[in-house]
Amino acid sequence: MENGSSRQATMTELQEVQITEERPLLPGQTPEMAKTHSVETPYGSVTFTVYGTPKPKRPAILTYHDVGLNYKSCFQPLFQSGDMQEIIQNFVRVHVNAPGMEEGAPVYPVGYQYPSLDQLADTIPCILQYLNFSSIIGVGVGAGAYILSRYALNHQDTVEGLVLINIDPNAKGWMDWAAHKLTGLTSSIPEMILGHLFSQEELSGNSELIQKYRNIITHAPNIENIELYWNSYNNRRDLNFERGGDITLKCPVMLVVGDQAPHEDAVVECNSKLDPTQTSFLKMADSGGQPQLTQPGKLTEAFKYFLQGMGYMASSCMTRLSRSRTASLTSAASIDGSRSRTRTLSQSSESGTLPSGTPGHTMEVSC
């Protein structure tokens, strides 16, 4: 067991590798430099990659991926999309890999005690302290959404906003555990994780995307590590959100889920427990279980509206959703210090009429 001084010294150790992101460049775009770091925390080494440079008076965008993925396989299609370029020019980004999920990660020995999701949330301050970042906008998927939510509950002053995709804030009940155990008798770990990430319709359709991610997970050299992260996710505690109660997210939140996605019911329930004046609910049609992979352009447009509602990117030019949808919904303004923040999301409307709804209440948005 490390003593306090040695642990503090260990936490400040940092390995840094500078890389150039390999991807097709857009017209007029220059290669983006990324720095990959590995920092020791009380719960093991955590690897994260930083893109861009800090912007004055702006938070960092910090992402956390789901089980079976790493930051690249979870978020690259989203952050490399053409529509995202305006956002990434305005914010520094920190993409966190859960321990043992980074490319080339060594396999943990048998019996290794992998951190709980709550403990993974407690590693985020180590990252921010080293980088000297004071605030973030979190973007998480699945297990990553849970981790960022837990962090936000414990460090509310450092979180300006959250985009939570496929969040399940509830601990597994007895019926869930029984179903999980029975599934484990007939299904492999990769099959169970694929069922967590994608809908049964998607898996049955076996599209090119599904084939790609089935191959990634099935042949992952760190599958033992992935199973540990999977077990931590299935042993998560209830976040105990309560609308109007003391345990709630105080920052603006955008909940995102695909129509007919595996976690649709959980996200709907989460939406019912959060403050309606601070929460926007985006249900994306035809996006399956991973909207950041299947509909990056539409999700980016909604993200821009979300950032505008927080007082950032006021001059941003809306394209995809503003052309394809006929109306917009603006929620009530919220005051944070001297800045007034009005949240706006595109509202689907086939007939061109704006659905009724009281400003300041959460609205379901399909796109």
Does residue 16 sit within a domain? Answer: no
Does residue 151 sit within a domain? Answer: yes
Does residue 84 sit within a domain? Answer: yes
Query: What pLDDT is attached to residue 31?
Result: 56
Report how far residue 354's alpha carbon sits from residue 357's, in angstroms, rounded to the nearest whole number.
9
Does residue 28 sit within a domain? Answer: no
| pLDDT tens-digit map of 127-165 | 999 999 999 999 999 999 999 999 999 999 999 999 999
Query: What pLDDT is attached to residue 89?
Result: 92
Does residue 348 sit within a domain? Answer: no
| pLDDT tens-digit map of 206-236 | 999 999 999 999 999 999 999 999 999 999 9
DSSP symbols for 234-293: HTPPP----TTSSSS--S-EEEEEETT-TTHHHHHHHHHHS-TTTEEEEEETT-TT-HHH
Query: What pLDDT is attached to residue 27?
Result: 46
**77: helix, coil or strand?**
helix
Query: What pLDDT is attached to residue 272?
Result: 96
> How many domains are there within the chain?
1
Query: What pLDDT is attached to residue 5?
Result: 42
DSSP symbols for 145-205: HHHHHHHHHH-GGGEEEEEEES---SPP-HHHHHHHHHHHHHS-HHHHHHHHHS-HHHHHH
Strand order of the β-sheet with 159-165 is 14-20, 33-41, 44-51, 93-97, 60-64, 136-141, 159-165, 253-258, 279-284, 364-366
Exposure letters 35-70 (e unless 16+ CB within 10 A, then b): ebbebbbebbbbbbbbbbeeeeebbbbbbbbbbbbb
CB 87 within 8 A of CB 304: yes
Does residue 267 sit within a domain? Answer: yes
Report how far residue 367's alpha carbon sits from residue 117's, in angstroms, rounded to the nearest whole number.
31
Tokens 């007029």 locate to 28
Q: Which two tokens stand for residue 145?
A: 């959404």
Q: Is 148 buried (19+), middle (13-18) or exposed (0-12) by CB count in 10 A?
A: buried
Query: What pLDDT is attached to residue 181?
Result: 58
DSSP symbols for 101-148: -STTPPPPPTT--PPPHHHHHTTHHHHHHHHT---EEEEEETHHHHHH
Query: What pLDDT is attached to residue 335?
Result: 33
Residue 120 belongs to domain with CATH number = 3.40.50.1820
pLDDT under 50: residue ranges of the chain: 1-30, 320-363
Which residues are CB-contacts of 48 (< 8 A; sequence separation ≥ 6)?
Answer: 36, 37, 39, 71, 94, 95, 96, 97, 127
Does residue 364 sit within a domain? Answer: no
Q: Which of 130, 8, 142, 154 is nearest to 67 (CA)?
A: 142
Does residue 144 sit within a domain? Answer: yes
Domain residues for the domain of 135 are 35-311
Which residues are CB-contacts of 326 (< 8 A; sequence separation ≥ 6)?
Answer: 349, 352
